[in-house]
Chain A
């Protein structure tokens, strides 16, 4: 007798707070990473867009600790994630538990996001960070941003929950979709301001690449889940509707580009963002349905 569903695990009931957190963490980490790439390109035409990315990354990550805390059964014990409350002042750091690693990464990333946020706001700080120091901040912060966007997927995988633990590509998938969402968000935020036009065109182009990477990872994820025999959960109830939005978010940026007259980039961006949210919702709610 072969039994495909290998584990019999209760859902942790991670719902709206966690969905919103995963969404914002992906967008913030992605924005910062894109900002860092634009900044490090040193192309003058990109610098306004880089600043916009840094201006977005910090407020987006600011909401995250709040959401994570509200999701706890004992919100006032949030600090137990960082400190070993039974052995103070010892720290809690378990690199093999993505939740533990992630809380640390999130905290350190937020500090970098703050520095770059201030850098984008104040020309005095900008002058201070104009040299190598600023580049170092951008590189480290960018790496942390990529990590924050990706680890949320690894966190789901590192469990025994069917679907999540079957799909190891989740980390990469959430990263690709976070980058794609961030590019779309920045295009949306830039609007038609002329000083941002060059950056917007670059970001739109990058988004098409990210979408392609994401599409490959969606397929890989679905295949791994199918091999484990839990695919049904990802297509139960109204979840197929969510996948429809995922597909739209993947297809529209590419289709919009191949037309001779590009469709409104703002609508494209909006659809990409809805797709990013829908992907996380499908994965989170599908597994726990």
Chain B
């Protein structure tokens, strides 16, 4: 049965950093990938999400001996030493990218996912500066922008997205958002019972961008994973009012200043004459 509201629940506590999701995504979506990039500071050679990478396993390696970084420097690192997270477009309910797109290329599909219509996008790149998760990338060859489609074509054929299908530990779970919420709540409760006090769900409720269809279980604060926390989960449109009011105030002051200047000059000409 086709899902009504499609989403991912990415449980980072069981991610082993194998990158099967990255590969499966590229296979199915025909993404070439960028040329290999030896970043040398972790097992991460992908770097970031972009037009060629729609899943990206982030690595945050924090050694247990760096006691200040880890809550309880136990032999296991308290579950917070080697953090791996398969990042993806969050399919935000309040999507910053969709908000600014001037061509309406970015739409919400019948599966409640956020989708970029390739035949509409004109490559203005406004969405790139809007997405707070560094997701969207520009492709020179197509002249358009790309990101995770949540395997729109597979959804239409009642198939599980490629990454979720490939993930060997079921860190990436696919399903109806409501079902995934229940799964996530149960998993969080189990982890907390085991003493992982910092484990938390990100994007499960509507506090970040109205809720994320692709939400996460994190082992530490969102900031540790370079994710905006609740206070910083803000939409581009927040700056419309102050921006235009600032412009209006400036216009009023400048017009008055111009009138004064033109009058003063005019009067001094007259007194001279």
Interface on A for B, CB 8 Å cutoff?
A: 1, 3, 6-14, 33-34, 37-38, 41, 43, 45-46, 71-75, 77-78, 80-81, 84-86, 92, 94, 96-100, 103, 146-147, 150-151, 153-154, 157-161, 164-165, 168-173, 175-176, 179, 198, 201-202, 205-206, 208-210, 213, 217
Q: Complex Cα distance A81/B101, Å?
A: 9
**Contact of A9 with B126 in the complex, beta carbons under 8 Å:** no
- Give Cα A86–Cα B142 distance, bound, in whole angstroms: 18
Q: Is the CB of A213 within 8 A of B96?
A: no
Most buried by B among A13, A161, A168: A168
Q: List 28 A-B residue pairs with CB atoms under 8 Å apart, sorted by A's residue number.
A: A1-B224, A7-B228, A8-B226, A8-B227, A11-B129, A41-B266, A45-B269, A46-B262, A73-B145, A75-B122, A80-B105, A81-B122, A84-B104, A86-B117, A86-B120, A94-B104, A97-B99, A97-B102, A99-B100, A154-B243, A160-B129, A168-B246, A171-B250, A172-B250, A209-B260, A209-B261, A210-B257, A213-B253
Q: For residue A206, which residues in chain B have a CB less than 8 angstroms away from its CB?
A: 257-258, 261-262
Let me know if B242 is at the binding interface, CB within 8 A.
yes
**A8–B134 CB distance below 8 A:** yes
Asked whether any CB of chain A lies closer than 8 Å to the CB of B251, the reply is yes
Indicate whether A96 sits within 8 Å of B240 (C-beta atoms), given known contacts A8-B134, A34-B258, A210-B254. Answer: yes
Known contacts A10-B136, A74-B143: A37-B122 contact under CB 8 Å: no
Q: Is the Cβ of B254 less than 8 Å from the Cβ of A158? A: no
* B contact residues around A45 at 8 Å (CB): 266, 269
A42 to chain B, nearest CB (A): 10
CB–CB A168/B242 < 8 A: yes
Interface string of B132-147 (1 = CB under 8 A from A): 1110111110111100
Interface residue ranges, B against A (CB under 8 Å):
48, 50, 96, 99-105, 117, 119-126, 128-134, 136-140, 142-145, 221, 223-224, 226-228, 232, 234, 236-237, 239-240, 242-244, 246-247, 249-251, 253-255, 257-266, 269
**Interface contact tally, CB-CB below 8 A:** 230
- CB <8 Å contact, A175 and B251: yes
Provided the pairs A9-B132, A11-B129 are in contact, do residues A205 and B250 lie with their beta carbons within 8 angstroms?
A: no
Please name the residue on chain B nearest to A95 by beta carbon.
B240
